[in-house]
Amino acid sequence: MTQTLKIAITRTNHGIGLDLPSYATAGSAGADLLAAIPDSHVIHPGKRALIPTGISIALPEGYEAQVRPRSGLALREGITCVNAPGTIDADYRGEVGVILINHGEEDFVVTRGMRIAQMLIAPVIQAEWDLVKELPETVRGAGGFGSTGTHG
C-alpha cells in the first residue's frame, strides 16, 4: 500500500497556470515536474540548462526530494539530469530547478509545461560517524570498480 505525506507547495509567478507535480499512474513512484519557462528553450548537443519548475516546497524534517531523469527522454532524446539524482533538502525553500543535459545528437527543445523530470520523496537517515582503527573484514574487501566482473 502506498503511503502519503502532505507537503506544502507554492507557485512562483512563472509557474502560474501549470499543473502541480503529479503522478502519471497509481503505481508511479515519481511525480512529474514541468518546465516553467515562458516559451521554449533549446539545449544543444553536449550542453546543459537549468530549467525552472515554477514551484517551491517545504519538506518535513527527515525527508528529501530526489530529482531524477525521465526514462523516455533519456532513451529517445538523450536528455538526462546532470546530477541525478539531485537532492532537495528539507530546509531548502527556493524554487525547484532541474539541470538537464543533452547527450543526444540533435538540438532538444524544452517547451512550457513539458514533463522534464520526476521527483521522489524519500526518508533521510543521517549517519553518526564512529571512528575506528580498522573496518571488519569481508570476502570482497577493498575490491571495487569492476572487481566482481561483468558476467555471472
User: Which residues are part of a known binding site for substrate?
Assistant: 70-72, 83, 87-89
Whether 32 contacts 22, CB under 8 Å: yes
Residue showing cell 544543444: 44
Q: Which residues are annotated as a binding site?
A: 70-72, 83, 87-89
CB 47 within 8 A of CB 102: yes
Q: How many CB atoms lie within 10 A of CB 52?
A: 17
As a whole number of angstroms, the distance between CA 32 and CA 117 comes to 6
